[in-house]
Structure 1
Amino acid sequence: MKKILSILLTTAVILTLSGCGAKKEVATTAKVTAEKKIIKVGASPVPHSEILGVVKPLLAKKGYALEIIEFNDYVTPNTALAEGQLDANFFQHIPYLQSFSKERNLDLDYTVKVQIEPMGLYSSKYKKLSEIKSGAEIAIPNDATNGARALRVLEKAGLLKLKSGELISKLDITENPKKLKITEIDAPQLPRVLNEVDAAVINSNFAIEAKLNLEDALAVEAKDSPYANVLAVRKEDKNKDYIQALSKALNSPEVKKFIEDKYKGAIIPAF
């Protein structure tokens, strides 16, 4: 009788402990599922945050809450993503993402292309390209990929000639007939120094923030530019449901119409 009672008590304890473990596991799973309904995305204020504003209600219909966290630099959004503080970011083009990830050994990738932002050569001193004088100072972004893009804009405008290749720098200038001085500056600062230099090659997002009109640019990057802005994610998350939902929303007809209507050619859909 004592043996039977002992066995029954032992069984009851095991079942109780198992039940607690199961409850804990279910609770943990439920918590993880709930967390994945909130998608944290880092973005530049213009146009990326504005585009995500269109995406927000589209995701809400799918049961996801989109949290947009704005950044004003080109470094923090990638490090924050790699460290798990963000689920994705939306501010950069493919060459920059690839270069940054390689330099810092980050396991980042992208899912979809969203828009192309043509660079423009802006000036508060000159109205025409032909007016640029010998020895003029032209500012360009100081990061490798955008700096290379800017130099190609100057080459396309006929102001200088460069070596072939992708990540070229001012050291790769082969012809500079006007002896232009190329100054490298942080991309977000370029609109602010426009009155201090003769001209500057500025990314569209910063140009738009500064109320610069692409139509007033002295030269514009070709519209077949390979520098499409993308949704960046950790490689391990590429195929997860919430990332797929976000990617689909960014390539929706609603987003395409918004880009075309809002930016009127200054920014072009890439899908």
Structure 2
Amino acid sequence: MNGKIKNIVVLFLAAISIVVLAGCGNSSNEKTVKIGITGSDNRVWNAVAKKVKKDGIKIKLVEFSDYNQPNTALDQGETDLNAFQTVYFMDNWNKTHHTHIVSIGQTDIAPMALYSKKLKSLSELKDGDKIAIPNDPTNEGRALDLLVSANLITLKKAALPTVKDIKTNPKHLKISQLDAAQTARSLNDEAAAVVNSGVASDAKLDPKTAIYTEKVTAKSKPYVNVISANEKDKNNPTYKKIVKAYQSDDIAKLTKKLYGNFQVPAWNYKILQ
């Protein structure tokens, strides 16, 4: 083999190697899926990310500081999915903002709770005490329903109650409305506050110290947390794999281990079926 032919053969083999390597590099076709969340406790989602990695799916969590940002980011295509909201919140958001965001799968239900740094029980609430609740429509209504179930107030009939719908308030409680993320911080000033589970977790509040916790019943279905997508993506096979990975026995066991009865897997929780 003369030098010229040898050089051609070498170049040919090198070209084949490059093609083969390129093919190997693309064989996994890893897909990155951005998921908007609130709060910084990512332990369950980190476990889900490990499960779907074998399917060539890379989950990238995008943290938001309040409940107004994740749906805006999803609607504008800045994220692919989000997992922070209840069915009720999502439906209300769509009506208010004319968006088309849908649920593609249930995750869990996280009861709201009434916390206090000054009181150890409901019976210690005094006449005129101040209580903070979230100010967004769905969480405000949910918080008021919690106060009803705690026998602190009664409400007029309303699909989505506000403080204006309070019918009776025997203790003359002064109920203030704050951004949900601020409710835990208000405990230094208020007698008590109704706090969402994720906000309580970020604030290092122990659910066991809550002076009252929301009851989970069949009526709690609107408050089940979901994985949401834009309607056009509801049948995306990659997103369905993420939902399937989340709704698995090992993730249910992990949720139970981490949160006990304060964050319950909704997809197999009989009372919600």
Q: Same fold (TM over 0.5)?
A: yes
Cα displacement string for residues 229-263 of structure 1 (whole angstroms, at most 9, x for unaligned residues): 10010001010111111111111112111100011
2:87 pairs with 1:91: no
C-alpha distance in 2, partners of 1:236/1:72?
A: 26
Please state whether the residue corresponding to 2:79 is helix, strand or coil: coil
SS at 2:33's partner residue? Answer: strand
2:224 aligned with 1:231: no
Note if contact 1:54-1:254 (Cα within 8 Å) is conserved in structure 2: no
Q: Are 1:179 and 2:162 counterparts?
A: no
Name the aligned partner's letter for residue 106 of structure 1.
T
1:196 is aligned to 189
1:46 CA displacement? 4.4
Q: Which segment drifts farther, 37-46 or 168-177?
A: 37-46
Which SS does the other structure have where 1:112 is aligned? strand
> Would you identify which runs of 4 or more consecutive aligned residues in structure 1 move more than 6 Å?
none
Structure 2 residue aligned with 1:258, among 247, 251, 254?
A: 254
Picking from 66, 70, 75, the partner of 1:73 is 66
- Does residue 117 of structure 2 align to residue 117 of structure 1? no
SS, match of residue 164 in structure 1: coil
The residue type paired with residue 163 of structure 2 is K
User: C-alpha distance in 1, partners of 2:202/2:78?
Assistant: 26
Given that 2:108 and 2:225 are in contact with CA atoms closer than 8 Å, whether structure 1 keeps it comes out as yes
CA distance in 2: counterparts of 1:270 and 1:177, whole angstroms: 35
C-alpha separation in 2, matches of 1:181 and 1:255: 41
Matched, 1:58 2:51: yes
2:150 is aligned with 1:150? no
Normalized against structure 2, the TM-score is what? 0.84
Q: Secondary structure at the match of 1:193?
A: helix
For 2:204 and 2:216, locate their aligned partners in 1 and report how far apart those are by CA, in whole Å. Answer: 21
Residues 1:38 and 2:29 aligned together: no
Q: Distance in 2 between matches of 1:104 and 1:202?
A: 25
For residue 53 of structure 1, report the CA deviation from its aligned partner. Answer: 0.6
Distance 1:209 1:263 in 2: 13
2:154 to 156, 161, 167: 161
Gaps of 5+ in 2: 1-25, 268-273
Counterpart mapping for 1:12-51 below 5 A: 34=29, 37-47=31-41, 49-51=42-44
Structure 1 counterpart of 2:245, which letter? Answer: A
TM-align CA RMSD: 1.5
Task: Answer yes or no: is the 8 Å Cα contact 1:113–1:231 preserved in 2.
Answer: yes
Structure 1 regions of 5+ residues with no counterpart?
A: 1-30
SS of the aligned residue for 1:66 comes to strand
Work out the CA distance in 2 between the residues paired with 1:176 and 1:136: 11
Cα deviation digits, residues 206-247 of structure 1 (max 9, x gap) = 111112122211111112222111001000101011111111
Contact residue 122 and residue 211 of structure 2 kept, 8 A = yes
For 2:157 and 2:210, locate their aligned partners in 1 and report how far apart those are by CA, in whole Å: 25
2: distance between equivalents of 1:197 and 1:76? 27
TM-score calculated relative to the size of structure 1? 0.85
1:120-168 residue CA offsets vs partner (Å, 9 max, x unmatched) = 0111111110110001110000001000110111111111101223310
Cα deviation code 1:151-200 (max 9, x no counterpart): 11111111110122331001001101111111000001111111111110
C-alpha distance in 1, partners of 2:141/2:208?
A: 22
1:60-81 deviations in Å (ceiling 9; x for gaps):
1111111111111101110110
Total equivalences in the alignment: 238
Number of the residue aligned with 1:6: none
Match of 2:9 in 1: none
Q: Which amino acid counterpart does residue 107 of structure 2 have in structure 1?
A: V
Map of 2:199 onto structure 1: 206
